[in-house]
Amino acid sequence: MNSLAVSLADEMAALVARLQRSLVVLHNGRAGVGAGVIWKRDGLVVTNHHVVAAHRGRSGNRDLRVELFDGRVYPARVVSQDEEIDLALLQVDGAFKDEQNQELPEVQIADVADLRIGEMVMAIGHPWGQRGMVTLGLVSGIFSAKTQGRRGQVEIIRSDARLAPGNSGGPLVDASGRVVGLNTLIIGGDQGMAISGQVINSFVEQSGKVLEQ
C-alpha cells in the first residue's frame, strides 16, 4: 500500500473513531432500541421519533437510558418530538465527558445545499445490535417527501449506504465527517432515507425556544 493510500486510510479511521464517540445507544429496559447522536454538549441527543415512541416501560411511560461509547449509561427523557418529521430530542441527565474528563464531541452539521448526487456518505449506527458499525454509499437523491401534517413536506437524502434495524437515529455523514442527515427509513431493501441536517437543526432550535418559554 502506497503512502497516499495509507494516509487516506488513517484519516478515515480517525474520522470514524471521532464520530463513534458522538454516537449513543438508546435503551428501553435491558434492550437496545436504536441509535442517537450527541447534538449539543449540554446533554441533548437527537434520534428518531419512532425509536422512542414505540418503546415504553412497564408503567406505560418511556423508560429510556442512553449508553455512551465507553459503556457509561445515563437516564434520558424526551423533551420534544415531532412525529410528522420523525424526530425526537432527548435530555440526558449526565455529563458528556470521557474518562479523562474531556468533553465528548458534538456533531458538526453540513450544509445540504453543498451536497452533490454521487457524493460518498457513511451511515453509522447499531445494525442488528452491532455497536458503531459503518457502511459506505453514494448519495442518489435529495428531495422533498410529502408528510401527513401541517408541514406538508420534509427534505430527505437518499443513499445506497446499507441500513438495517438499529441504524435508525444514527447519522449519515459526508467524507469530512459532517452530519448531512439522520437515518430513518429503508426502502427497497437497499436504499436508505435520512432526514436532512437542516430539518434537524430547525427542529432543535424550535424545541429550544419552546423549552425556554
C-alpha dihedral (179, 185, 191, 196), degrees to nearest 10: -30
Q: Is 144 a catalytic residue?
A: no
- Tell me, rounded to whole angstroms, the distance of Cα 123 from its chain centroid: 9
Strands (E), the chain: 23-28, 31-40, 44-47, 64-67, 73-82, 87-92, 120-125, 133-146, 153-159, 171-174, 179-187, 191-196
Set 168, 174, 196, 207: catalytic member? 168
Q: Is 86 a catalytic residue?
A: yes
Q: Cα–Cα distance between 148 and 163 in angstroms, integer?
A: 24
Q: Is 59 a catalytic residue?
A: no
Locate 75 and state its grid cell. 437516564
10: CB partners within 8 A, 6+ apart: none
Q: Cα–Cα distance between 45 and 94 in angstroms, integer?
A: 12
Mark residue 177 as left, alpha or beta (left: phi above 0; alpha: psi -120 to 50; beta: remaining): left
C-alpha dihedral (72, 73, 77, 78), degrees to nearest 10: 70
DSSP character at residue 197? H
Set 22, 27, 86, 196: catalytic member? 86
User: Which active-site residues does the annotation give?
Assistant: 50, 86, 168
